[in-house]
Amino acid sequence: MTIGGLETTRIAELLRPFAGDRLPHELLRRLSDYLELLLRWNARVNLTAVREPEQIVTRHFGESLFAARALYPSAATDGTLVDIGSGAGFPGIPITLWAAEVDLTLVESKQKKVTFLREALRTLDLKNAQVFAGRAEDFVGPSAGSLTVTLRAVECFEQILPTAARLVGKGARLALLIGEAQVTRAHQILPEFSWREAVAIPQSERRVLLVGERAGK
């Protein structure tokens, strides 16, 4: 199958540094469907500034699957995932394609992106996923111990970070896909969190995955 000029075998090759060898045919097929939909919509709605298909695969799909691999080592892992400021669905949708038992909520306030996200969930047949069309400040999160909140490439990082953190209670975790320079700022803004060591994202320019949990709560 060829999507956006890319064979699925090429997509697998591009994703291997991020996801390892666990790239089953069904995952690649659904990622291909996602890529095709994204390219079609992005021609008329500004979902991502990245236009070249191979760069979309590595920068968006790859980074999201790198987080998925770290957060959900087993495909059978369940839980609840809330993706704040989801935009075109990264990292939330690829994570849920990787860990199919995870319940997903995409939080997005911009209506055109909300419309795209709902179409993506229909296209990919993600019945365990939904879109919250509104501001992150207005979202009331689930009280699930197995909750993960993700945040990636959002505007006004320093303002939205505390909003995302308020959803993280005991047993939950906050996963940030951010620039290396933002790690210190995250520690300063959320000193009540216990942070794991930041992990460099393959093939990126100083981007990392930073995971933390609220300490002593």
Give the model's pLDDT for residue 210: 98
pTM, two decimals, is 0.94
Per-residue pLDDT tens for 39-76? 999 999 999 999 999 999 999 999 999 999 999 998 66
CB 95 within 8 A of CB 150: yes
Average pLDDT of the segment spanning 131-147? 87
Domain 2-214 has CATH 3.40.50.150: yes
Structure letter (DSSP) for residue 27: H
Both tokens assigned to 74: 């087993």
Is the pLDDT at 90 greater than 90? The verdict is yes
Give the model's pLDDT for residue 77: 78
Is the pLDDT at 4 greater than 60? The verdict is no
CB 82 within 8 A of CB 150: yes
- Give the residues across from 106 on adjacent strands: 83, 131
| Burial degree of 162 (CB within 10 A; 0-12, 13-18, 19+) | exposed
Give the model's pLDDT for residue 156: 86
Per-residue pLDDT tens for 6-43? 889 999 999 999 999 989 999 999 999 999 999 999 99
CB 79 within 8 A of CB 56: no
Both tokens assigned to 117: 């996200």
Domain map of the chain by residue range?
2-214
